[in-house]
Structure 1
């Protein structure tokens, strides 16, 4: 019994470590490709991610039977999933574009404001009010980012706008998902949702890539002839993007929602420290104080939400 408990604990720790590694790994690799390596094609990179998610989701569900296959039951449900996929695309593409201009540490600081946007969209779309204490905790969340922005040595306005857009789109997706797929007949677990969303995302992204990132395939192949490393980096990066979703699903399944929130808050802080150590981007005391205030606000927000339930 003790041995089984110990094994279960080790399995959970391994899952969390995998979730952290894949999350931070894909973030740092995106930054390296788009900024340091000079691969300036964020839309094509997102399309590679979605293609890998399509293929690997099918393998995991249809072949490996990791979760039961759930089918799309109607044309209306398909339209809902397509709408979610479009928002998901906007979020990932904007996030990748922002990494061209902003350091990962500042990117994560802005990303920590997701609860603020979630609360705003939940109110606008469902008129759902939170307790006043919950709204009060959002003040340090936003104030922290304002302070961090003022003290960020590598601040870039367009990158900042893209990052805020990505954070807002991520929050919008979670709210819309709750509204669109809330009925029992339409509920999909996150792995099945990704199975259907990813190929739709590829269909959305393909024409955008061809128009906005002209001859990107030819350029990538030309780069590969000079240095084959780019192909391996893209393949590994794309597989890692799927692994983020897989480990997120497994951590959610094997831990509680509260544990996931706490781990998520800590993950942002770990990503900031690791990115500063790797990329050695300059950071100011003001910037770090701002980010710390945002993280504190997110923790208080989680506590307030828990108490009002």
Structure 2
């Protein structure tokens, strides 16, 4: 936790290290997936997501069940398990759509769209549970949406399908967070993010394997043929899958070392860092209008976070 001394905030090195690890894993998996699916030519986003979930299943079992680094929380009822299955399916859809979108749009535009998550969260919270926020909180969502509209109009690499599928991923991610809040809200059914991943990842694998065989049936043979020419493909897949797990692990650790609100603020900054890094690496063109739109979205998200925090205290 952060400490103060003579009004000076002292941040422990362990917290700084966890935040750096969280940023690195988040941005790393995003850039590596973009490289694999777009630049490298490995056009199998469903299989890539399946690899992610298989490695997440293995690492989750080791970290939670074997090492006890994270305390194990057991499923208490059949109904709770059914809710976890529902969350797992929505989670699958979100991750697959996110990976598919990277085939068609640059990381910078992907992050601009992803920043609209609070908008979809507010919409689904109202639609599903009639949860209302103060009118000023909803007003702050206008620049969030307006920013994406502006960024879309000024995006040189705009691709309609990539845009639609990325919006779908963002909406599904927001829907999962609302469902999670509703379905696992009782005191006896609360699960932390690492235990939830422990149960969701194997469910995701069972959903994704048939989808992979149906949509990308020849992926194993193609991957083997590709490996004969370039063995690095296996290392790329392993690294991408490992980073996907460490995104969740470091997310959990950042929340533990700081707070959920700090995580949200750091997440906003992370998106901006990811945009800059992706432009530097992939050299994708970006217009001043696109930059203005993304900045408008980030400002809207910050205002939304601040107003929600302020009015939730009242």
> Corresponding residue for 1:80?
83
| CA offsets 1:161-188 (integer angstroms, 9 cap, x no match) | 0000000000000000000000111111
- The separation in 2 between residues aligned to 1:24 and 1:146, in whole angstroms, is 24
| CA offsets 1:246-289 (integer angstroms, 9 cap, x no match) | 00000001102221111010000000000000000000000000
Deviating runs (4+, > 6 A) in structure 1?
A: none
> Corresponding residue for 2:65?
62
Once the two structures are superposed, the pairs formed by residues 35-114 of structure 1 within 5 Å of their partners are 35-114=38-117
> Corresponding residue for 1:120?
123
> Corresponding residue for 1:175?
178
> Corresponding residue for 2:150?
147
| CA offsets 1:38-93 (integer angstroms, 9 cap, x no match) | 00000000000000100000000112211211111111111100000000000000
> Corresponding residue for 2:271?
268
- The separation in 1 between residues aligned to 2:105 and 2:237, in whole angstroms, is 21
Matched length = 307
- The separation in 1 between residues aligned to 2:10 and 2:291, in whole angstroms, is 38
- The separation in 1 between residues aligned to 2:244 and 2:198, in whole angstroms, is 13
> Corresponding residue for 1:294?
297
> Corresponding residue for 2:253?
250
- The separation in 2 between residues aligned to 1:197 and 1:269, in whole angstroms, is 29
> Corresponding residue for 1:28?
31
- The separation in 1 between residues aligned to 2:75 and 2:306, in whole angstroms, is 36
TM-score, scaled relative to structure 2? 0.96
Once the two structures are superposed, the pairs formed by residues 138-287 of structure 1 within 5 Å of their partners are 138-287=141-290
- The separation in 1 between residues aligned to 2:249 and 2:67, in whole angstroms, is 13
Q: Secondary structure at the match of 1:185?
A: helix
- The separation in 2 between residues aligned to 1:178 and 1:297, in whole angstroms, is 23
- The separation in 1 between residues aligned to 2:82 and 2:156, in whole angstroms, is 43
- The separation in 2 between residues aligned to 1:183 and 1:306, in whole angstroms, is 22
TM-score, scaled relative to structure 1? 0.97
1:7/1:289 Cα in 2 relative to 1: closer, same or farther (>3 Å)?
closer
Gaps of 5+ in 2: none
Q: Secondary structure at the match of 1:100?
A: coil
Q: Secondary structure at the match of 1:12?
A: helix
Gaps of 5+ in 1: none
Q: Secondary structure at the match of 2:103?
A: helix
